[in-house]
Amino acid sequence: MAATQQLPMQSRTGRVNQRYGAQGERLVAGVVPLSADNHYVLLIQSTKRNGWVLPKGGWETDEATAQDAAKREAWEEAGIICKISYDLGLIGERRKADQLTTQAPKASYHFFQAVVERQEAQWPEMHKRSRQWFNYTQARQALAERPELLAALEKCTMQR
């Protein structure tokens, strides 16, 4: 997103424009947002349960690439403007069957490593999420219950 472009202050909701894969899985895009020095990752609070997650969400039909969706999600959920630096690839569903629900169906995740260029004071989901910087060890502990997110963290090049 260009610096002069006005960023939307409302998150997208619903799944009417959601993309799905060949097996009916929801296509999700996200970022592993790193500090410029590669020593910290920015995590956000989950809205569904206690704990921390990476910014991610559905890749929608009006978005040309998964990168576009990942950068939009980073803005909506974490209030960050970031530059994609590395494609971390696809991560298949790793949650257990009892963790899948109609609100959180089977998904295929496409994660990108990104450098946080700006953190805005106000963003669309600021009233339901906080954000916090973690070192690698802290982030591993925080994401321990989310194997798909842990896999994305482990693929990134952040300082261990």
Instruction: Determine, yes or no, domain membership for 16.
Output: no
The percent of the chain in helix, strand and coil, each rounded to the nearest 5, is 20, 30, 50
Instruction: Determine, yes or no, domain membership for 5.
Output: no
Instruction: Determine, yes or no, domain membership for 67.
Output: yes
pLDDT per position as a tens digit, 98-135:
776 666 668 999 999 999 999 999 999 999 999 999 99
Instruction: Determine, yes or no, domain membership for 15.
Output: no
pLDDT per position as a tens digit, 44-94:
999 877 899 999 999 999 999 999 999 999 999 999 999 999 999 999 887
Instruction: Determine, yes or no, domain membership for 43.
Output: yes
Q: What is the model's pLDDT at position 106?
A: 83
Domain encompassing residue 38: 27-155
Number of domains observed in the structure of the chain: 1
pTM for this prediction: 0.88
Instruction: Determine, yes or no, domain membership for 73.
Output: yes
Chain center to CA of 105: 16
Other CB atoms within 10 A of residue 8 CB: 13
Task: Supply φ then ψ for residue 18, to 5 degrees.
Answer: -70, 140
CATH number for 83: 3.90.79.10
Element (H, E) at 48: none
Instruction: Determine, yes or no, domain membership for 160.
Output: no
